[in-house]
């Protein structure tokens, strides 16, 4: 039954106008609405969101809960959730359609290939919310050097990266990566954001997994980085 539901979501998400997908990582081709190709490189704002508002990515967005929450509170900012899991994206994309959130949309692709689909310095900010910490696989962590190199090309000069996680190892790894990476400035780091008044109001949004982590007594950590 679960597999049938997942296949149904895969099929349905292909018709969603707020989702574009890359099916073959070796080919930089995006598909939209029942296998129609679309080229959005350098034109995400004008052609996909139909405006010139700032563009913020949520990487490894899962169900897109953070993009949805931010989109509800900031209607004049475009949010693009990025993930490879089609069934998860379906949930966020359907919620955005049902709520009429035209500023929240989704890209299904491997994050390793993301530079294929954006012009340099096309993105204003990046959020990474509760990503897989990849214990034992440091090079796959979304704050490893190879990913920071990608973000430098994606982001506008002085663009911001946000990391929100419950994982101690990923948090410490990220701080180490930033401190030894020549092109970053650490703006803020907190290993227990809810222990005191939140410095940034956008941190108050909680995803399904974050609520689970909090229920287990885990501390939520946050890192704010500016790329030079």
pLDDT digits (tens, 9 = 90+) for 34-67: 679 999 999 999 999 999 999 999 999 999 999 9
**Which of 47, 132, 149, 185 is an active site residue?**
132
pLDDT, residue 1, reads 46
Active site residue 149: no
Neighbours of 175 (CB within 10 A): 18
Which region, left, alpha or beta, applies to residue 191 given φ > 0 means left and ψ of -120 to 50 means alpha? alpha
Query: What's the CATH class of domain 2-20+55-227?
Result: alpha beta
* SS3 at position 84: coil
Question: pLDDT under 50 in the chain at which residues?
Answer: 1, 4
The DSSP element (H or E) to which 3 belongs, if any, is helix 2-13
Residue appearing with tokens 């508002």: 53
* SS3 at position 16: coil
Question: Angle at Cα 39 formed by Cα 35 and Cα 40, nearest 5°?
Answer: 120
What lies within 8 Å, CB to CB, of 115 at 6+ separation is: 150, 153, 154
- What span, in angstroms and rounded, lies between the C-alpha atoms of 39 and 56? 19
pLDDT, residue 34, reads 67
Give the chain's largest Cα–Cα span: 50
For the residues of 129-162, what is the DSSP string, one character each?
A: ES----TT-GGGSTTSHHHHHHHHHHEEEEEEEE
Neighbours of 178 (CB within 10 A): 22
Cα–Cα distances (Å) from 138 to 52, 134, 152, 177, in that order, read 36, 7, 19, 11
The closest of 154, 150, 153, 126 to 139, measured between CA atoms, is 150
Q: What are phi and psi of 131, to 5 degrees?
A: -75, 165
**Overall pTM surpassing 0.85 (yes/no):** yes
* Strands annotated E in the chain: 19-21, 30-32, 36-38, 55-59, 78-83, 104-108, 123-129, 155-165, 184-190, 221-227
Sorted by where each begins, the domain ranges of the chain are 2-20+55-227
pLDDT, residue 4, reads 47
Question: Angle at Cα 205 formed by Cα 110 and Cα 173, nearest 5°?
Answer: 55
In the chain, helix, strand, coil percent, each to 5?
40, 25, 35
């Amino acid at each position: 039954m679960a597999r049938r539901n997942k296949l149904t979501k895969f099929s349905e998400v292909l018709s969603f106008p707020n989702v574009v997908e890359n099916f073959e990582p070796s080919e930089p081709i995006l598909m939209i609405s029942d296998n129609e190709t679309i080229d959005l490189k350098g034109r995400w704002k004008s052609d996909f969101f139909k405006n010139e508002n700032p563009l913020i990515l949520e990487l490894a967005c899962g169900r897109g809960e953070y993009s949805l929450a931010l989109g509800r509170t900031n209607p004049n900012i475009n949010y693009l959730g990025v993930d490879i899991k089609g069934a998860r994206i379906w949930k966020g994309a359907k919620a955005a359609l049902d709520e009429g959130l035209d500023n929240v949309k989704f890209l299904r692709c491997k994050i390793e290939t993301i530079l294929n689909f954006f012009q340099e310095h096309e993105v204003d900010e990046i959020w990474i919310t509760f990503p897989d910490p990849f214990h034992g696989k440091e090079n796959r962590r979304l704050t490893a050097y190879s990913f920071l190199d990608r973000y430098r090309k994606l982001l506008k000069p002085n663009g911001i990266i946000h990391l929100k996680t419950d994982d101690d190892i990923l948090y410490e790894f990220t701080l180490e990566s930033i401190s030894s990476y020549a092109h970053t400035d650490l703006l803020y780091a907190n290993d227990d954001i809810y222990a005191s008044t939140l410095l940034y109001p956008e941190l108050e949004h909680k995803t399904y997994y974050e609520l689970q982590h909090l229920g287990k007594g885990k501390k939520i950590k946050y890192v704010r980085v500016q790329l030079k």
